[in-house]
Structure 1
Amino acid sequence: MTSYAVFLRGINVGGINIKMADLKEALQGGPFTGVKTLLASGNVVLASELEPAAVKQEFETTLRKAFGYDAWVVVVTADRVAELVAACRYPADDKTTHTYLTLASDPAALDELFAAGEALDSVEQERLGPEALAWLAPAGGTLESPFSKLTAKPKYKASTTTRNLRTMIKVRDAAAALETAAG
Protein backbone atom coordinates (compact mmCIF):
# COMPACT_ATOMS: atom_id res chain seq x y z
CA MET A 1 0.00 0.00 0.00
CA THR A 2 1.40 3.38 -1.04
CA SER A 3 0.37 6.75 0.34
CA TYR A 4 -0.27 9.49 -2.20
CA ALA A 5 -1.04 13.18 -2.39
CA VAL A 6 -3.46 14.10 -5.15
CA PHE A 7 -3.71 17.71 -6.28
CA LEU A 8 -6.82 18.72 -8.22
CA ARG A 9 -6.63 21.44 -10.84
CA GLY A 10 -9.20 24.22 -10.99
CA ILE A 11 -11.84 23.33 -8.44
CA ASN A 12 -13.73 25.86 -6.37
CA VAL A 13 -12.81 28.50 -8.94
CA GLY A 14 -14.36 29.31 -12.28
CA GLY A 15 -17.73 27.76 -11.52
CA ILE A 16 -16.52 24.27 -10.57
CA ASN A 17 -17.54 23.99 -6.94
CA ILE A 18 -17.03 20.76 -5.05
CA LYS A 19 -17.51 20.38 -1.32
CA MET A 20 -14.66 18.45 0.22
CA ALA A 21 -17.09 16.15 2.04
CA ASP A 22 -18.70 15.25 -1.32
CA LEU A 23 -15.27 14.66 -2.86
CA LYS A 24 -14.29 12.36 -0.02
CA GLU A 25 -17.55 10.44 -0.32
CA ALA A 26 -17.14 9.99 -4.09
CA LEU A 27 -13.63 8.58 -3.64
CA GLN A 28 -14.49 6.11 -0.90
CA GLY A 29 -16.16 3.72 -3.31
CA GLY A 30 -12.96 3.29 -5.33
CA PRO A 31 -9.63 1.59 -4.76
CA PHE A 32 -8.56 4.15 -2.15
CA THR A 33 -8.31 4.00 1.64
CA GLY A 34 -7.65 6.62 4.29
CA VAL A 35 -9.04 9.39 2.08
CA LYS A 36 -8.57 12.81 3.66
CA THR A 37 -9.16 16.20 2.07
CA LEU A 38 -7.20 19.28 3.05
CA LEU A 39 -8.35 22.85 2.62
CA ALA A 40 -10.96 23.68 -0.02
CA SER A 41 -8.55 23.91 -2.94
CA GLY A 42 -8.47 20.24 -3.91
CA ASN A 43 -5.77 18.52 -1.92
CA VAL A 44 -6.28 14.87 -1.03
CA VAL A 45 -4.16 12.28 0.71
CA LEU A 46 -5.01 8.61 0.35
CA ALA A 47 -3.54 5.15 0.18
CA SER A 48 -3.85 2.68 -2.67
CA GLU A 49 -2.40 -0.52 -4.07
CA LEU A 50 -2.43 1.13 -7.51
CA GLU A 51 0.60 2.64 -9.23
CA PRO A 52 0.64 6.47 -9.61
CA ALA A 53 -0.63 6.49 -13.24
CA ALA A 54 -3.52 4.21 -12.29
CA VAL A 55 -4.36 6.39 -9.25
CA LYS A 56 -4.49 9.41 -11.58
CA GLN A 57 -6.75 7.63 -14.07
CA GLU A 58 -9.11 6.22 -11.42
CA PHE A 59 -9.27 9.55 -9.57
CA GLU A 60 -10.03 11.59 -12.71
CA THR A 61 -12.65 9.06 -13.87
CA THR A 62 -14.34 9.19 -10.46
CA LEU A 63 -14.45 12.99 -10.52
CA ARG A 64 -15.86 13.09 -14.04
CA LYS A 65 -18.60 10.61 -13.14
CA ALA A 66 -19.45 12.12 -9.75
CA PHE A 67 -19.23 15.82 -10.61
CA GLY A 68 -19.58 16.01 -14.39
CA TYR A 69 -16.53 18.04 -15.36
CA ASP A 70 -13.20 17.47 -17.08
CA ALA A 71 -11.04 16.66 -14.09
CA TRP A 72 -7.25 16.82 -14.05
CA VAL A 73 -5.06 15.83 -11.15
CA VAL A 74 -1.39 15.50 -10.35
CA VAL A 75 -0.48 12.46 -8.24
CA VAL A 76 2.68 12.41 -6.12
CA THR A 77 3.75 9.78 -3.61
CA ALA A 78 3.79 10.90 0.01
CA ASP A 79 7.53 10.30 0.18
CA ARG A 80 8.09 12.46 -2.88
CA VAL A 81 6.01 15.31 -1.43
CA ALA A 82 8.29 15.27 1.62
CA GLU A 83 11.37 15.31 -0.65
CA LEU A 84 10.03 18.25 -2.67
CA VAL A 85 9.23 20.29 0.44
CA ALA A 86 12.71 19.56 1.83
CA ALA A 87 14.36 20.49 -1.49
CA CYS A 88 12.67 23.89 -1.68
CA ARG A 89 15.17 26.53 -0.57
CA TYR A 90 12.61 29.33 -0.53
CA PRO A 91 10.84 30.33 2.71
CA ALA A 92 7.39 29.06 3.61
CA ASP A 93 6.54 32.34 5.32
CA ASP A 94 7.90 35.70 4.26
CA LYS A 95 6.31 39.14 4.46
CA THR A 96 7.45 40.20 0.97
CA THR A 97 7.19 37.03 -1.12
CA HIS A 98 5.20 33.84 -1.33
CA THR A 99 6.67 30.53 -2.36
CA TYR A 100 4.79 28.31 -4.81
CA LEU A 101 5.36 24.85 -6.20
CA THR A 102 4.03 24.06 -9.65
CA LEU A 103 3.47 20.33 -9.99
CA ALA A 104 3.11 18.49 -13.27
CA SER A 105 1.95 15.11 -14.48
CA ASP A 106 3.80 15.84 -17.75
CA PRO A 107 7.49 16.72 -17.28
CA ALA A 108 7.62 18.21 -20.80
CA ALA A 109 5.02 20.82 -19.80
CA LEU A 110 7.12 21.69 -16.76
CA ASP A 111 10.25 21.90 -18.94
CA GLU A 112 8.42 24.39 -21.13
CA LEU A 113 7.20 26.44 -18.15
CA PHE A 114 10.66 26.51 -16.63
CA ALA A 115 12.23 27.69 -19.88
CA ALA A 116 9.56 30.38 -20.26
CA GLY A 117 10.18 31.47 -16.66
CA GLU A 118 13.91 31.72 -17.34
CA ALA A 119 13.10 34.16 -20.15
CA LEU A 120 11.26 36.43 -17.70
CA ASP A 121 13.65 38.74 -15.88
CA SER A 122 11.42 39.11 -12.85
CA VAL A 123 11.00 35.42 -11.94
CA GLU A 124 13.05 33.58 -9.38
CA GLN A 125 12.49 29.86 -9.81
CA GLU A 126 14.18 26.55 -9.15
CA ARG A 127 13.55 23.12 -10.62
CA LEU A 128 13.00 20.61 -7.80
CA GLY A 129 12.66 17.53 -9.98
CA PRO A 130 10.91 16.24 -13.08
CA GLU A 131 7.49 16.88 -11.54
CA ALA A 132 7.97 20.15 -9.66
CA LEU A 133 9.44 23.60 -9.70
CA ALA A 134 9.44 26.27 -7.02
CA TRP A 135 9.01 29.96 -7.70
CA LEU A 136 8.51 33.23 -5.86
CA ALA A 137 5.80 35.82 -6.25
CA PRO A 138 5.47 39.18 -4.53
CA ALA A 139 3.13 39.17 -1.53
CA GLY A 140 -0.25 40.50 -2.60
CA GLY A 141 0.57 40.20 -6.29
CA THR A 142 0.62 36.50 -7.05
CA LEU A 143 -2.15 36.44 -9.66
CA GLU A 144 -0.67 39.45 -11.44
CA SER A 145 2.86 38.04 -11.45
CA PRO A 146 4.23 37.15 -14.89
CA PHE A 147 4.91 33.53 -13.95
CA SER A 148 1.44 33.03 -12.46
CA LYS A 149 -0.08 34.32 -15.70
CA LEU A 150 2.13 31.90 -17.61
CA THR A 151 1.04 28.89 -15.54
CA ALA A 152 -2.62 29.85 -16.02
CA LYS A 153 -2.49 29.38 -19.80
CA PRO A 154 -5.04 26.81 -21.04
CA LYS A 155 -2.37 24.57 -22.55
CA TYR A 156 -1.10 23.72 -19.03
CA LYS A 157 -4.53 23.06 -17.56
CA ALA A 158 -4.53 19.29 -18.02
CA SER A 159 -1.04 18.68 -16.68
CA THR A 160 -0.08 21.24 -14.03
CA THR A 161 -1.33 22.74 -10.81
CA THR A 162 0.21 25.15 -8.32
CA ARG A 163 0.19 25.19 -4.52
CA ASN A 164 1.84 27.51 -2.05
CA LEU A 165 4.58 26.00 0.08
CA ARG A 166 2.51 26.31 3.26
CA THR A 167 -0.15 24.08 1.67
CA MET A 168 2.50 21.59 0.54
CA ILE A 169 3.77 21.37 4.13
CA LYS A 170 0.22 20.62 5.35
CA VAL A 171 -0.17 17.96 2.67
CA ARG A 172 3.23 16.46 3.57
CA ASP A 173 2.22 16.26 7.23
CA ALA A 174 -1.19 14.72 6.47
CA ALA A 175 0.38 12.15 4.14
CA ALA A 176 2.98 11.27 6.79
CA ALA A 177 0.19 10.80 9.35
CA LEU A 178 -1.63 8.51 6.90
CA GLU A 179 1.51 6.41 6.44
CA THR A 180 2.02 6.21 10.20
CA ALA A 181 -1.59 5.14 10.74
CA ALA A 182 -1.30 2.49 8.02
CA GLY A 183 1.66 1.22 9.85
Structure 2
Amino acid sequence: MTKFVAFLRGINVGGHRKVPMADLREICPGTDVQTYIASGNVIFTATGNSADLADGLQAAIKDRFGFEVPVLVLEETQMRAVLSGNPFPMDAGKLVHAYLCYDSPQLDMAAVAALKADGEQIAVVDRTVWLYAPGGIGRSKLAAKLERLIGVEVTARNLNTVIKMVDMLNASV
Protein backbone atom coordinates (compact mmCIF):
# COMPACT_ATOMS: atom_id res chain seq x y z
CA MET A 1 0.00 0.00 0.00
CA THR A 2 1.24 3.44 -0.99
CA LYS A 3 0.13 6.88 0.12
CA PHE A 4 -1.07 9.20 -2.61
CA VAL A 5 -2.13 12.82 -2.90
CA ALA A 6 -4.86 13.76 -5.37
CA PHE A 7 -5.54 17.27 -6.60
CA LEU A 8 -8.84 18.02 -8.32
CA ARG A 9 -8.88 20.94 -10.71
CA GLY A 10 -11.58 23.58 -10.64
CA ILE A 11 -14.14 22.25 -8.19
CA ASN A 12 -16.23 24.30 -5.79
CA VAL A 13 -15.20 27.58 -7.42
CA GLY A 14 -17.90 30.23 -7.60
CA GLY A 15 -20.64 27.70 -6.94
CA HIS A 16 -19.74 25.61 -9.99
CA ARG A 17 -18.85 21.93 -10.17
CA LYS A 18 -19.74 21.31 -6.55
CA VAL A 19 -18.14 18.28 -4.95
CA PRO A 20 -18.81 17.97 -1.22
CA MET A 21 -15.72 16.70 0.58
CA ALA A 22 -17.70 14.01 2.43
CA ASP A 23 -18.83 12.62 -0.94
CA LEU A 24 -15.31 12.86 -2.32
CA ARG A 25 -13.97 10.86 0.62
CA GLU A 26 -16.66 8.27 -0.02
CA ILE A 27 -15.81 7.72 -3.70
CA CYS A 28 -12.03 8.06 -3.39
CA PRO A 29 -10.18 4.80 -4.06
CA GLY A 30 -8.28 3.23 -1.21
CA THR A 31 -8.37 3.73 2.53
CA ASP A 32 -7.43 6.33 5.14
CA VAL A 33 -8.97 9.05 2.96
CA GLN A 34 -8.54 12.63 4.20
CA THR A 35 -9.45 15.89 2.50
CA TYR A 36 -8.13 19.38 3.05
CA ILE A 37 -10.33 22.40 2.37
CA ALA A 38 -13.05 22.28 -0.25
CA SER A 39 -10.83 22.80 -3.29
CA GLY A 40 -10.13 19.12 -3.90
CA ASN A 41 -7.01 18.11 -2.00
CA VAL A 42 -7.07 14.45 -0.95
CA ILE A 43 -4.70 12.03 0.76
CA PHE A 44 -5.36 8.31 0.63
CA THR A 45 -3.66 4.93 0.78
CA ALA A 46 -4.08 2.50 -2.12
CA THR A 47 -2.45 0.00 -4.41
CA GLY A 48 -1.89 0.78 -8.06
CA ASN A 49 -0.26 3.56 -9.99
CA SER A 50 -0.95 7.27 -10.09
CA ALA A 51 -2.40 7.33 -13.61
CA ASP A 52 -4.89 4.51 -12.98
CA LEU A 53 -5.96 5.99 -9.64
CA ALA A 54 -6.46 9.41 -11.26
CA ASP A 55 -8.54 7.84 -14.04
CA GLY A 56 -10.61 5.89 -11.50
CA LEU A 57 -11.28 8.94 -9.34
CA GLN A 58 -12.15 11.02 -12.40
CA ALA A 59 -14.61 8.34 -13.55
CA ALA A 60 -16.15 8.09 -10.07
CA ILE A 61 -16.68 11.87 -9.99
CA LYS A 62 -18.28 11.78 -13.44
CA ASP A 63 -20.59 8.93 -12.35
CA ARG A 64 -21.54 10.57 -9.06
CA PHE A 65 -21.80 14.23 -10.05
CA GLY A 66 -22.30 14.17 -13.82
CA PHE A 67 -19.32 16.29 -14.84
CA GLU A 68 -15.67 15.74 -15.58
CA VAL A 69 -12.93 17.00 -13.31
CA PRO A 70 -9.26 16.73 -14.17
CA VAL A 71 -7.47 14.79 -11.42
CA LEU A 72 -3.74 14.70 -10.74
CA VAL A 73 -2.48 11.96 -8.42
CA LEU A 74 1.03 11.97 -6.98
CA GLU A 75 2.73 9.28 -4.93
CA GLU A 76 3.85 10.37 -1.47
CA THR A 77 7.48 10.55 -2.61
CA GLN A 78 6.52 12.76 -5.55
CA MET A 79 4.56 15.10 -3.26
CA ARG A 80 7.50 15.39 -0.90
CA ALA A 81 9.77 16.12 -3.88
CA VAL A 82 7.44 18.91 -5.01
CA LEU A 83 7.77 20.64 -1.64
CA SER A 84 11.51 20.07 -1.32
CA GLY A 85 11.94 21.48 -4.84
CA ASN A 86 10.42 24.83 -3.90
CA PRO A 87 13.16 27.37 -4.66
CA PHE A 88 11.46 30.26 -2.86
CA PRO A 89 11.13 31.22 0.82
CA MET A 90 9.20 28.55 2.72
CA ASP A 91 7.43 31.24 4.74
CA ALA A 92 6.13 33.06 1.64
CA GLY A 93 2.76 31.28 1.93
CA LYS A 94 0.23 32.68 -0.52
CA LEU A 95 2.88 34.63 -2.44
CA VAL A 96 4.25 31.39 -3.88
CA HIS A 97 2.19 29.10 -6.10
CA ALA A 98 3.02 25.64 -7.37
CA TYR A 99 1.57 24.89 -10.79
CA LEU A 100 1.46 21.09 -10.75
CA CYS A 101 1.70 19.89 -14.34
CA TYR A 102 0.01 16.78 -15.67
CA ASP A 103 2.92 16.41 -18.12
CA SER A 104 6.29 18.08 -18.68
CA PRO A 105 5.78 21.86 -18.89
CA GLN A 106 6.41 23.61 -22.20
CA LEU A 107 6.71 27.12 -20.81
CA ASP A 108 6.51 30.09 -23.19
CA MET A 109 9.40 32.06 -21.66
CA ALA A 110 9.01 35.04 -24.01
CA ALA A 111 5.42 35.54 -22.87
CA VAL A 112 6.47 35.02 -19.24
CA ALA A 113 9.14 37.72 -19.57
CA ALA A 114 6.63 40.12 -21.13
CA LEU A 115 4.18 39.69 -18.23
CA LYS A 116 6.57 39.39 -15.31
CA ALA A 117 6.53 42.31 -12.86
CA ASP A 118 9.55 43.54 -10.93
CA GLY A 119 10.44 41.05 -8.22
CA GLU A 120 8.41 38.19 -9.68
CA GLN A 121 10.33 35.00 -10.18
CA ILE A 122 9.54 31.75 -11.90
CA ALA A 123 11.27 28.38 -11.68
CA VAL A 124 10.61 25.02 -13.29
CA VAL A 125 11.48 22.04 -11.11
CA ASP A 126 10.64 18.72 -12.74
CA ARG A 127 6.89 18.88 -13.49
CA THR A 128 6.19 21.85 -11.20
CA VAL A 129 6.28 25.48 -12.26
CA TRP A 130 6.83 27.73 -9.26
CA LEU A 131 5.76 31.37 -9.21
CA TYR A 132 6.87 33.84 -6.56
CA ALA A 133 4.85 37.05 -6.72
CA PRO A 134 5.93 39.25 -3.79
CA GLY A 135 3.37 41.91 -4.78
CA GLY A 136 0.57 39.35 -4.40
CA ILE A 137 -0.77 36.64 -6.69
CA GLY A 138 -4.05 38.55 -7.15
CA ARG A 139 -2.21 41.56 -8.55
CA SER A 140 0.12 39.61 -10.79
CA LYS A 141 -0.52 39.77 -14.54
CA LEU A 142 1.75 36.76 -14.91
CA ALA A 143 -0.25 34.71 -12.40
CA ALA A 144 -3.46 35.55 -14.24
CA LYS A 145 -2.13 34.03 -17.48
CA LEU A 146 0.49 31.54 -16.35
CA GLU A 147 -1.64 28.41 -16.68
CA ARG A 148 -2.07 29.07 -20.42
CA LEU A 149 1.64 29.78 -20.84
CA ILE A 150 2.73 26.46 -19.35
CA GLY A 151 1.55 24.54 -22.40
CA VAL A 152 0.11 21.52 -20.58
CA GLU A 153 -2.78 20.98 -18.19
CA VAL A 154 -2.04 22.13 -14.65
CA THR A 155 -3.64 22.60 -11.29
CA ALA A 156 -2.25 25.28 -8.99
CA ARG A 157 -1.94 25.40 -5.21
CA ASN A 158 -0.35 28.00 -2.98
CA LEU A 159 2.66 27.08 -0.88
CA ASN A 160 0.58 26.93 2.30
CA THR A 161 -1.53 24.15 0.78
CA VAL A 162 1.51 22.25 -0.50
CA ILE A 163 3.04 22.40 2.99
CA LYS A 164 -0.25 21.31 4.58
CA MET A 165 -0.52 18.29 2.31
CA VAL A 166 2.98 17.14 3.29
CA ASP A 167 2.16 17.81 6.96
CA MET A 168 -0.92 15.60 6.56
CA LEU A 169 1.24 12.87 5.01
CA ASN A 170 3.58 13.16 8.00
CA ALA A 171 0.70 12.93 10.46
CA SER A 172 -0.72 9.83 8.81
CA VAL A 173 2.52 7.83 9.19
- TM-score above 0.5: yes
Give the counterpart letter for 1:46 in structure 2: F
Superposition RMSD on alpha carbons, in Å? Answer: 2.5
Aligned residues: 170
Q: Are residues 23 and 115 of structure 1, via their aligned partners in 2, closer, same or farther at CA, if it must alter by over 3 Å?
A: farther
2:124 equivalent to 1:169: no
- After superposition, the C-alpha distances for 1:58-90 in whole angstroms (9 at most, x for unaligned) are 011111111111110111111111122112121
Alignment of 1:1-183 (within 5 A): 1-14=1-14, 15-27=16-28, 30=29, 32-94=30-92, 98-107=95-104, 110-112=105-107, 116-122=111-117, 123-129=120-126, 131-139=127-135, 141-153=136-148, 159-178=153-172, 180=173
Matched residues in 2 for 1:114 and 1:166: separation?
A: 26
Give the counterpart letter for 1:169 in structure 2: I
TM-score (norm: length of structure 1): 0.81
Task: Tell me the secondary structure at the aligned position of residue 79 of structure 1.
Answer: helix
Q: Are residues 24 and 100 of structure 1, via their aligned partners in 2, closer, same or farther at CA, if it must alter by over 3 Å?
A: same
Give the counterpart letter for 1:41 in structure 2: S
Give the counterpart letter for 2:27 in structure 1: A
Q: Which runs of 5+ in 2 are unaligned?
A: none
Tell me, yes or no, if the aligned pair for 2:121 and 2:132 is still in contact at 8 Å: yes
Q: Are residues 176 and 42 of structure 1, via their aligned partners in 2, closer, same or farther at CA, if it must alter by over 3 Å?
A: same
Bigger relative contact order, structure 1 or 2, given CA contacts below 8 A and separation 6+? 1
Q: Which runs of 5+ in 1 are unaligned?
A: none
Tell me the CA shift for residue 115 of structure 1. 6.4
Tell me the CA shift for residue 101 of structure 1. 0.4
- After superposition, the C-alpha distances for 1:10-62 in whole angstroms (9 at most, x for unaligned) are 011041222211211122xx4x1111101111100111111111011101111
Q: Are residues 115 and 8 of structure 1, via their aligned partners in 2, closer, same or farther at CA, if it must alter by over 3 Å?
A: farther
